[in-house]
Amino acid sequence: MAMRALQASTSYSVGFGMSFASPPRRSSHRRITLAQMEPTDKSVEIMRKFSEQYARKSGTYFCVDKGVTSVVIKGLADHKDTLGAPLCPCRHYDDKAAEAQQGFWNCPCVPMRERKECHCMLFLTPDNDFAGKEQAISLEEIKETTANM
């Protein structure tokens, strides 16, 4: 139950750039939004490798639900394609291009670099209840866990 709520709220957050406090209800709308987000395989692979390397470097772990990890990686890849930088996909921006240029929320964002705070739940410290034990994710896992979104 907790994981369902976690996945729903995280996907919702990634898809719409809204806060975790928002009710994760409009799942059909979420699916439509994510279906429109089709990053290139090349960018997904770049962000997949980056995520693995940064998890190891920072001593953090992916979520026990790899679907969360996959959605965030695809969101980062989408921004890399459209903005030229991996702007955090879990936030709302009035001007995405300006934010990407400014750099504060380009992954790894400043809160992550300074305090290991990743509100997307891509990089979780070991004490986090939702942290898994893995720092690796394959392209196949990303495709499988996001296939029905």
Binding site for ligand SF4 (CB under 6 A): 72, 88, 90, 105, 107-109, 112, 118-120, 122-123
Closest approach of ligand SF4 to the CB of residue 104, in Å: 9
* Three-state secondary-structure class, residue 106: strand
Rounded (to 5) percent helix, strand, coil in the chain: 55, 5, 40
Catalytic residue numbers read 90
Residue 107 is given by DSSP the state S
Mention every residue, 6+ apart, whose C-beta is less than 8 A from residue 68.
Answer: 6, 7, 10, 11, 121, 122, 130
Residue 122 or residue 142: which is nearer to ligand SF4 going by CB? 122
> Given the complex with ligand SF4, which of 25 and 102 has the nearer CB atom?
102
Shortest approach of ligand SF4 to residue 116 CB, angstroms? 9
Shortest spacing between CB 45 and ligand SF4, in angstroms: 17
